[in-house]
Amino acid sequence: MRKRSLKRISVINNIKIHIINNLKLYVIVSIFFLIGILIGSFFIKNIQTDIQAQIDTYIKDFIEILKQNHQIDHTNLLKDTIINHIIFTILIWVMGCSVIGIPIVYGLVIWKGFSLSYTISSIISALGLGKGIIFCFSNLFLQNLIVIPGTLALAVSGVKLYNSIIKDKRKENIKLEIVRHTIFSTFILILLIASSFVETYISTNLTQIYINTI
């Protein structure tokens, strides 16, 4: 028990040190994520009425299907979310290794923020503020406790690699930094895959329970 406690403390301390050492990059990446959130919210507020009506109808129809005890295909949902996380991680990894890829890294972070904001705004628009917030909380909150920090950490790792390559173009340094970036990206991917299980087997069940009460 004591060894486990010491390992947990060590992991927490390492995370704190990592964030402190890269605080500037985390702030910059977080700003891009917030930009994506603002764009997503603005987009929903300013789309055409007929498109908004189609989105509202889709969400309400989806809820009605779940109310009729339609079973969610957990296997396909898990597979799809894991594939999405793998693709996203590989893109960040590749772009971080490329000198010209950093704008794409920031673009991917903006897209993540946009997608989350778009989804939340659409649900609230369709269900109203109260029901919409509860639905979003049950369906999106838990996995995004992992996905959002993981997204920011991946982007920071990619930007950090780029900065290291620019500062020191020796092959030995580049190889070392790529190895570090790869190990870190793999660790984050494992966390993102864990979030897929949370989304598939916890969030969907919470959503089903909430839907049955409205």
pLDDT in tens, 100-119: 888 999 999 999 999 999 99
Which residues does 158 contact at the CB level (< 8 Å), separation at least 6?
92, 93, 95, 96, 97, 101, 102, 105, 181
For residues 52, 54, 56 and 62, what is the CA-based torsion angle, rounded to 10 degrees? -150
* pLDDT exceeds cutoff 60 at 5: no
The rounded distance, in Å, linking the Cα atoms of 195 and 200 is 9
Q: What is residue 55's predicted lDDT score, i.e. its pLDDT?
A: 80
Q: What is residue 156's predicted lDDT score, i.e. its pLDDT?
A: 95
| Sign of the torsion formed by the C-alpha atoms of 196, 198, 202 and 206 | negative
| Sequence-ordered alpha helix ranges (H) in the chain | 2-21, 23-46, 49-67, 74-97, 102-127, 129-167, 171-198, 204-211
* pLDDT exceeds cutoff 80 at 145: yes
Q: What is residue 66's predicted lDDT score, i.e. its pLDDT?
A: 73
Contact 126, 55 (CB under 8 A): yes
Is pLDDT larger for residue 143 or for residue 174? 143
Contact 95, 105 (CB under 8 A): yes
Which residues does 109 contact at the CB level (< 8 Å), separation at least 6?
29, 32, 33, 36, 151, 152, 155
**Ranges 55-64, 125-134, 148-157: which has the least confidence:** 55-64
Which residues does 159 contact at the CB level (< 8 Å), separation at least 6?
25, 28, 29, 96, 102, 105
Residue 115, token pair as written in the block: 């997608």
Q: What is residue 176's predicted lDDT score, i.e. its pLDDT?
A: 86
The rounded distance, in Å, linking the Cα atoms of 168 and 126 is 52
* pLDDT exceeds cutoff 50 at 6: no
Residue with tokens 């898990």: 78
Is pLDDT larger for residue 63 or for residue 77? 77
**Ranges 29-43, 57-71, 145-159: which has the least confidence:** 57-71
Contact 158, 101 (CB under 8 A): yes
Residue with tokens 């999405």: 84
**Ranges 79-93, 136-150, 154-168, 176-190: which has the least confidence:** 154-168
The rounded distance, in Å, linking the Cα atoms of 119 and 47 is 14
Q: How do the domains of the chain map onto residue ranges? A: 20-34+75-211
